[in-house]
């Protein structure tokens, strides 16, 4: 592969991103910017919690990298990418603008994405199926505070890893997956979302909200969660044949770096 080919952005039919949480210190904005620069698509779905209004109400945190993410998305929309923004619970203030378009970005409560082979996927953030968010908002806010504390510890932890030359690793994601109750919550959430897709008569669902990227089939319904850009730095991408996959950008960037490091040695050996 030539140097010019390596610098060409990867092209997808659709990209699904959620839980970016701009406005928080935990947001991995630099990694997301790198992803947006190196990946293009016909459709870009922003599946909720793009801006964290809950956190911004308590204190203001908006570095240049967060502004750069917004500008990059708007630039993609201006250049012809079909950008659909579906607000979540952390950016719920934007729900009052559903059915409107701002800067070539459509704001919608939900969307239906049709794959090349005709499968219909319901695209929603998913907080509608979180009983704590719906019925115990105070507990959700308390949980958000605890989660933010874990992320601050995660930031400090990864600062130490960078000093040692080690790659990014999500301590908070590791702890979450070790907690039995958290795993049960994830399973219950996935089943509830899949049940709603079945009730709607669609073939599958794309959501976010729980920061747990996954693709699996639940009783005949395709369940896709695109993850987040706080812990896992993942996106759901669809190729032009309709195949869907989770792209872990932190891992992908490490792989690319290894390829570039090994390339001179291979050329020398040849």
Residue 98, pLDDT score? 96
Contact yes or no for 17/41 (Cβ under 8 A):
no
Q: What is the mean pLDDT of residues 65-74?
A: 97
| pLDDT of 4 over the 90 cut | no
Would you give the end-to-end CA distance of the chain in angstroms? 15
The span from the CA of 47 to the CA of 225, in Å, is 10
Is the dihedral angle over the CA atoms 242, 245, 250, 254 positive or is it negative?
negative
Q: 147 versus 60: which is more confidently predicted?
A: 60
Domain boundaries, given as residue ranges, for the chain: 10-137+174-269
Q: What is the pLDDT of residues 131-184, one digit of tens each?
A: 533 433 433 444 455 555 566 666 666 666 667 776 666 655 655 555 545 557
Predicted model pTM:
0.79
As a whole number of angstroms, the distance between CA 15 and CA 11 comes to 10
What pLDDT was estimated at residue 137? Answer: 43
**What's the pLDDT band for 6 if we cut at 50, 70, 90?**
low
Alpha helices, DSSP H only, in 79-136?
131-135
pLDDT of 41 over the 50 cut: yes
Please give the pLDDT value at position 175.
55
Q: Which CATH architecture has domain 10-137+174-269?
A: 4-Layer Sandwich (3.60)
User: Could you give the angle at which helices 29-38 and 64-78 cross, rounded to 10 degrees?
Assistant: 20
Block residue for tokens 């459709």? 43
149 closest CA partner among 55, 213, 67, 62: 55
Evaluate if residue 245 carries a pLDDT over 90: yes
- The predicted pLDDT at position 93 comes to 94
Q: How far is CA 147 from CA 29, 104, 144, 150, 154, in A?
A: 18, 33, 5, 5, 10
Q: What is the pLDDT of residue 143?
A: 47
Beta bridge partners of 224: 206, 215
CB-side neighbour CA atoms (13 Å) of 66: 17
Q: Indicate the pLDDT class of residue 246, thresholds 50, 70 and 90.
A: very high
pLDDT in the model for residue 153: 66
98 class by beta-carbon count within 10 Å (0-12 exposed, 13-18 middle, 19+ buried): middle
Whole-number Å distance between alpha carbons of 106 and 131: 28
State mean pLDDT over 9-21: 97
- The pLDDT, as a whole number, for residue 134 is 43
**Does residue 14 surpass a pLDDT of 70?**
yes
**Nearest CA to 124 among 198, 42, 228, 16?**
16
Judged against a pLDDT cut of 70, whether residue 35 lies above it is answered with yes
Question: DSSP label at 84?
Answer: E
Report pLDDT digits (tens) over 167-226: 666 655 655 555 545 557 778 889 999 999 999 999 999 999 998 999 999 999 999 999
């Amino acid at each position: 592969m030539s140097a010019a080919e390596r610098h060409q952005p990867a092209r997808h039919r659709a990209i699904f991103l959620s839980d970016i949480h701009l406005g928080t210190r935990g947001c991995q904005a630099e990694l997301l910017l790198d992803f947006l620069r190196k990946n293009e698509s016909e459709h870009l779905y922003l599946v909720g919690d793009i801006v964290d209004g809950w956190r911004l109400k308590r204190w203001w945190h908006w570095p240049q990298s967060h502004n750069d993410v917004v500008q990059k998305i708007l630039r993609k929309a201006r250049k012809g990418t079909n950008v659909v923004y579906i607000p979540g619970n952390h950016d719920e203030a934007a729900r009052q603008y559903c059915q409107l378009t701002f800067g070539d970005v459509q704001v919608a409560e939900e969307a239906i994405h049709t794959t090349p082979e005709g499968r219909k996927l319901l695209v929603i953030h998913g907080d509608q199926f979180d009983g704590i968010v719906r019925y115990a908002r105070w507990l959700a806010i308390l949980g958000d505070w605890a989660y933010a504390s874990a992320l601050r510890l995660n930031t400090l932890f990864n600062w130490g890893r960078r000093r040692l030359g080690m790659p990014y690793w999500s301590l908070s994601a590791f702890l979450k997956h070790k907690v039995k109750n958290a795993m049960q919550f994830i399973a219950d959430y996935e089943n509830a979302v899949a049940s709603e897709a079945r009730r709607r008569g669609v073939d599958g669902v794309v959501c976010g909200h729980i920061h747990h990227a996954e693709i699996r089939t639940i009783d005949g319904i395709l369940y896709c969660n695109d993850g987040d850009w706080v812990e896992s730095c993942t996106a759901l991408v669809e190729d032009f044949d309709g195949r869907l996959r989770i792209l872990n950008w932190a891992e992908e960037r490490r792989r690319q770096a290894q390829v570039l490091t090994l390339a001179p040695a291979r050329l020398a050996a040849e």
